[in-house]
Amino acid sequence: MYQTDYPLSPKDTLPTMYDLPSEDPEEPGLPDTFHLFQAELLNNTFRPTLYSENEVFSAIDLNLYYDVEHTNWYKRPDWFASVGVSRLYENKELRWSYVVWQERVNPFIVVELLSPGTEKEDLGQTLRDLTKPPTKWEVYERILRVPYYVVFDRYKDVLKIFQLNGGHYQLLNLSEPRLFLQEIGLGIGIWEGIYKGVQRLWLRWYDAQNNWLPTPEEMAEMEKKRANKEQQRVEKLIAQLRSLGVEPDL
């Protein structure tokens, strides 16, 4: 669990999820179709084996509030996940945003999907304007200390994974475009296949046996095929019995 060092009773002194805006319609860089599909695929295949379903929260394009001194400052990752935290806000409600001083658990992993307008900031190549909030890189690395920061360039099909090491991100030297995260019993990597009718390289999660975790739609299709196969087996058996003059008791 990635605990934070916020006051014991932040609800008494700091804004809560209900007090902070959940969206800004004038904010640039709104997600396109790829961003939506890719983030959805990550969300639908994120099932850490070392945590129960109710101890995992993941989100797509959700406001992430991170600074108790500047409570209106936020970042909006393309996708992120926290583990060891309730799936629901206070165990009862869907989140409007993720407020770290309320949750008391920082994200475990953040994924950014490169866009031409955000590439330099996503890769930590922009200098902070001291009159403005810190950059994404500064927030993830220095303020939230997110253990894993993943950047995927869909234009070049390049995956970069940074791991927090000594307070700074270190770009991992991957022998193949994937990494197994022992802390959650799950791996993330590039998969080539069809999702939402689109054939391309996608990011998705895999298990300890290197099997890509199926989406709910894929699981339903597998179950349908299994049921059809079982039905065919039964029908074949019935036909064999009848050929021997035996009427099966159905």
- Residues 148-201 pLDDT 10s: 999 999 999 999 999 999 999 999 999 999 999 999 999 999 999 999 999 999
Higher pLDDT residue, 239 or 182?
182
> 128 is written with which tokens?
């902070």
Handedness of CA 93, 94, 97, 103 (dihedral sign): positive
Q: Contact, 60 vs 78, CB < 8 A?
A: yes
Which pLDDT does position 2 carry in this prediction?
63
Angstrom distance (rounded) from CA 168 to CA 165: 5
Domain regions of the chain by residue span: 10-213, 214-250
Residue position matching structure tokens 């995992």: 56
Residue position matching structure tokens 């209106």: 72
Which pLDDT does position 245 carry in this prediction?
82
In 3D space, the residue among 161, 200, 154 whose CA is nearest the CA of residue 179 turns out to be 161
Assign 88 a pLDDT band (cuts: 50, 70, 90): very high
Angstrom distance (rounded) from CA 29 to CA 116: 10
Give the HSE-up count for residue 144: Cα atoms under 13 Å, Cβ half-sphere. Answer: 34
Neighbouring CB atoms inside 10 A of 179's CB total: 16
CA 18 to chain centre: 23
Whole-number average pLDDT of the chain: 89
In DSSP notation, 18-33 reads TTS-S--TT-S----H
pTM of this structure? 0.83
Which pLDDT does position 71 carry in this prediction?
96
Angstrom distance (rounded) from CA 80 to CA 112: 9
Angstrom distance (rounded) from CA 171 to CA 40: 25
- CATH architecture of the region 10-213: Alpha-Beta Complex (3.90)
Angstrom distance (rounded) from CA 190 to CA 43: 15
Helix (DSSP H) and strand (DSSP E) numbers for the chain: 5, 12
Task: Check whether 210 has a pLDDT greater than 80.
Answer: yes
Kindly list the distances between the CA atom of residue 244 and the CA atoms of 15, 170, 241, 248, in Å, as whole numbers in the listed order: 77, 70, 5, 11
